[in-house]
Amino acid sequence: MPLIKHKQITVLFRGGGCGNYLGANIVRYITNRITDDIRYDPVINEYFTYELDGCYGMNITHANLLPTHYPLPSTKVIVIHNNWDMAYTEALGSIKTDYKNRQDGHIPIKYDEESTIEYKKLQIEYKEASEELKQKGYDVFDVEFKDLFIDKNETEYLKLCTWLGHEYSLEGYLHLSEYVDKNIALMENIHL
């Protein structure tokens, strides 16, 4: 494991929220902590960052793990929120998790009352997790899923680079844009 001069970074996200990709982009393009390729499946446009977890100063996790797995006190934490369309990210996560069984099938985007209530609870869970981490003294960067992973908001990417204490990475931003385009195509290829 390489010696890291920078703080530990944790990405907190809900499945389908592109946290694995964001972690890969950060260590590869923004902080340059890794120069090797990160394991990637082009069929489902997925980066396998479990090999990075705990290495290169990067951890990738979910909010429901916080009560028992708080990051180290000096950790910088990125929280990916989805206040735009939880059903979209749930479907995207479902596609990537079970692509072989779904590529000729149908993945419903659920907007029924029960799902809507569950999505609201998840949005609140991530908001509260962010607030709790801030109260505990963590340096937290909140990002909206839609800003980076739908709109490809370059200003938001620049803010992330700056918050991490690094210069803007044009290569990283272009890679993010390509990743988003591939996710959109993946969603369009499945009959939603």
- Tens of pLDDT along 40-61? 888 888 888 766 666 677 777 7
| Contact (Cβ atoms closer than 8 angstroms) between residue 75 and residue 176 | no
In-domain check, residue 75: yes
Mean pLDDT of 9-21: 89
In-domain check, residue 22: yes
In-domain check, residue 175: yes
In-domain check, residue 3: no
| Contact (Cβ atoms closer than 8 angstroms) between residue 72 and residue 57 | no
| Contact (Cβ atoms closer than 8 angstroms) between residue 16 and residue 91 | yes
pLDDT digits (tens, 9 = 90+) for 142-161: 999 999 999 999 999 999 99
In-domain check, residue 25: yes
Question: By mean pLDDT, which of 50-54, 77-81, 103-107, 149-153 is the weakest?
Answer: 103-107
Residue 99: count of CB within 10 angstroms of its CB: 18
73: CB partners within 8 A, 6+ apart: 137, 138
Which residue segment(s) compose the domain that 78 sits in? Answer: 9-189
In-domain check, residue 27: yes
In-domain check, residue 2: no
Mean pLDDT of 111-127: 84
In-domain check, residue 4: no
Count of domains forming the chain: 1
Amino acid at 103: Q
